Amino acid sequence: MKMINELCKQAYETAKSKGWHDEPRETGTLLALIHSEVSEALEADRKGDAENFLEEMADVCIRVFDLCGSRTLDLEKAIVDKMERNKGRTYKHGGKAY
Ligand SMILES: [Mg+2]
C-alpha cells in the first residue's frame, strides 16, 4: 500500500510528464479542477452508475494529490493530524445541522 505522499508525488509526476505543468498552474485552477471531478461524481451518482462514481472519486483524489504534489505539501501528515483532531470534537460539533 502506497502512502499518501508517495501518491501525491506520483500523481504530480504523471501530470507533469503529460504536459499539465509545463507552465505554472494557479492554485485556484487546480481547485476548480478538483471541483469538476466532484461534479462528475455527483452526475454518476444521479445516474446510479456505481462504477463511474468510484472512478470519479478516484479522480477527485488524484487531482488533490497532484495539487499537493506540485506544492510539495505534506498531505499525509495533515490528514492524520486532522483525523486525530476530529476524534476529539463534540457530537455534531456542538449542534451543527450538517
Ligand atoms: Mg473524471
Indicate the domain borders of the chain. Answer: 4-14+25-86
Residues 38-55 have a mean pLDDT of: 98
* Ion ligand 1, residues whose Cβ is below 5 A away: 37, 40, 56, 59
Architecture of the domain whose range is 4-14+25-86? Orthogonal Bundle (1.10)
pLDDT bracket for residue 1 (50, 70, 90): low
Confidence of residue 97 (pLDDT cuts 50, 70, 90): confident
Axis crossing angle, helix 75-87 with helix 50-70, rounded to the nearest 10: 110
Residue 2 vs residue 90, higher pLDDT? 90
Overall pTM surpassing 0.75 (yes/no): yes
- Grid cell of 43 as nine digits: 452526475
Q: 84 CA to middle of ligand 1, Å?
A: 30
